[in-house]
Amino acid sequence: MFTRRTLGTTAIALVLLPGAALAQDDQSIIVQSTTSTANSGLYDYLLPMFEEESGIKVNVVAVGTGQAIQNARNCDGDLLLVHAKPAEEQFVSDGMGTERTDLMYNDFVIVGPADDPAGVSGMSDAQEALSQIASEEATFASRGDDSGTHKKEMSLWEGTDVTPTDASGEWYREAGSGMGATLNTGIGMGAYVMTDRATWISFENKQDYEILVEGDEDLYNQYGVIPVNPEECPSVNIDGAQAFADWLLSDAGQQAIAEYEVDGQQLFFPNAPGFEG
């Protein structure tokens, strides 16, 4: 069993068993988070600032958005930071979250090998690109894990005349894993992969892969932050969760998000209500 007092260093990726009990500690919180914010290094950059200012230790459980939301429904966390707005709004509507607030955004891209067997390089219509990949039966690696990225991918397929899961195990491969692992799998099999831009910029095993499809408004990727409702989860550290949410949404937190770069590239763009940058 994991307790708040034994979770270790600043940012930790854990998988908690559903319903796992968590001991209360006013000086620490658990954030159920999407993997992209962890894989990109954003937490390693942000958390020391918040922890020094507040004295509150932040422990991060980095999983797919669907799993993060389920963990929070099981009361295994104090704060949600994910990127699937309809599912987030449903979480709040169900009474599990106190309030959802826009935090920051970036975008998704489709990456692939330099030889581009489906000929999608330079396309800016994501649905057209997916249709072309399918028509060529070029290998496509999906996360297949109900993450925010997977939810976005499936919503894009819905706008085409293709049901990719009908080709599961053929040209359409479902990794059932996080973004970094899916990229490694996809690159290993020469597949196209849809990824958030922040993870791609931070990803070190690019080999000959390039961003081939980008710039579609449908690839917009919004992140939200939600404190877990203590009325549904009495063990929640609502004061600590609210303090972290407030800091992320403050001018100081938003500016810190804006200033985070990898290889000279900004990974996330803050857009909390009232922040003008």
pLDDT tens digits for range 100-134: 999 999 999 999 999 999 999 999 999 999 999 99
pLDDT at 11 over 50: no
State how far the Cα of 242 lies from the Cα of 239, in Å rounded to an integer.
5
pLDDT at 6 over 90: no
| Paired tokens of 49 | 């600032």
**Exposure string for 223-239, b = 16+ CB within 10 A, e = fewer:** bbbbbbbbeebeebbbe
State how far the Cα of 87 lies from the Cα of 66, in Å rounded to an integer.
8
Query: Tell me: the pLDDT tens digits for 13-69?
Result: 333 333 333 334 579 999 999 999 998 999 999 999 999 999 999 999 999 999 999
- Residue 18 phi, psi dihedral angles, 5° rounding: -55, 130
The predicted pLDDT at position 157 comes to 98
Could you check whether 4-105+222-270 and 107-219 share the same CATH topology? Answer: yes
Break the chain into its structural domains and give their ranges.
4-105+222-270, 107-219
Which uninterrupted H or E stretch holds 153? helix 148-158
- For β-strands 261-262 and 265-266, DSSP reports them as antiparallel
Task: Provide CB contacts within 8 A for 13, sequence distance 6+.
Answer: 35, 38, 60, 61, 62, 63
Chain Cα centroid distance, residue 189: 24
Q: At what angle do helices 238-249 and 42-54 cross, to 10 degrees?
A: 120
pLDDT at 181 over 70: yes
Residue 243, helix vs strand vs coil: helix
Which of 248, 251, 245 has its CA nearest to residue 274? Answer: 251
Q: Identify the architecture of domain 4-105+222-270 in CATH.
A: 3-Layer(aba) Sandwich (3.40)
Q: Which pLDDT band, with edges at 50, 70 and 90, does 8 fall under? A: very low
170 versus 26: the higher-pLDDT residue is: 170
| Paired tokens of 105 | 């955004």
230 versus 20: the higher-pLDDT residue is: 230
User: Angle at Cα 206 formed by Cα 204 and Cα 211, nearest 5°?
Assistant: 120
Q: Which pLDDT band, with edges at 50, 70 and 90, does 277 fall under? A: confident
The predicted pLDDT at position 276 comes to 86
Fold category of 107-219 in CATH? D-Maltodextrin-Binding Protein; domain 2 (3.40.190)
Query: Tell me: the pLDDT tens digits for 128-145?
Result: 999 999 999 999 999 999
